[in-house]
């Protein structure tokens, strides 16, 4: 299969995808030439993005900070919500400790953070 080998080719592929979007939809058959071209371009773009713009897994402290921002919570409020001291939460936020099983469950349920993020999976 062909590959995108430069940023210029990547930008051109993205432009072509934008042009094809209005021509492809749910009612377009899978063997339509525009649909086939779109599928190939999307596969090539995905491969290029995976290699050149990888997305790392979120770290628990960063996700907790995001939830604090989204919900306008202070560190003390989060600590109280989780049933731990502010100093213990600070240790967790600075990567100096891993959450216990009980704390992991609290983080998942009270802050609506995915277990995969809490467990580092």
DSSP conformation letters of 10-32: HHHHHHHHHHHGGG--TTS-TT-
CATH top-level class of 60-119: mainly alpha
Instruction: Specify the DSSP class assigned to residue 58.
Output: P
Interval 9-18: pLDDT, tens:
999 999 999 9
Q: Where are the domains of the chain?
A: 7-52, 60-119
Output the average pLDDT for the chain: 92
**Phi/psi class of residue 72: alpha, beta or left (left: φ > 0; alpha: ψ in -120 to 50)?**
left
Which residue blocks in 21-114 are alpha helix, DSSP H?
33-52, 60-70, 75-82, 86-93, 101-111
pLDDT tens across 33-69, in order? 999 999 999 999 999 999 999 988 889 999 999 999 9
């Amino acid at each position: 299969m062909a590959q995108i080998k430069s940023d210029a080719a990547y930008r051109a592929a993205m432009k072509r995808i934008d042009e094809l979007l209005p021509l492809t939809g749910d009612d377009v058959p899978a063997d339509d030439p525009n649909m086939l071209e779109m599928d190939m371009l999307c596969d090539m773009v995905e491969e290029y993005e995976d290699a050149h713009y990888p997305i790392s897994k979120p770290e628990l402290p960063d996700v907790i900070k995001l939830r604090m921002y989204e919900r306008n919570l202070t560190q003390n409020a989060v600590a109280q919500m989780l049933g731990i001291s502010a100093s213990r939460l600070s240790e967790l936020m600075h990567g100096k400790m891993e959450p216990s099983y009980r704390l992991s469950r609290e983080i998942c349920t009270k802050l609506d953070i995915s277990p995969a993020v809490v467990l580092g999976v």
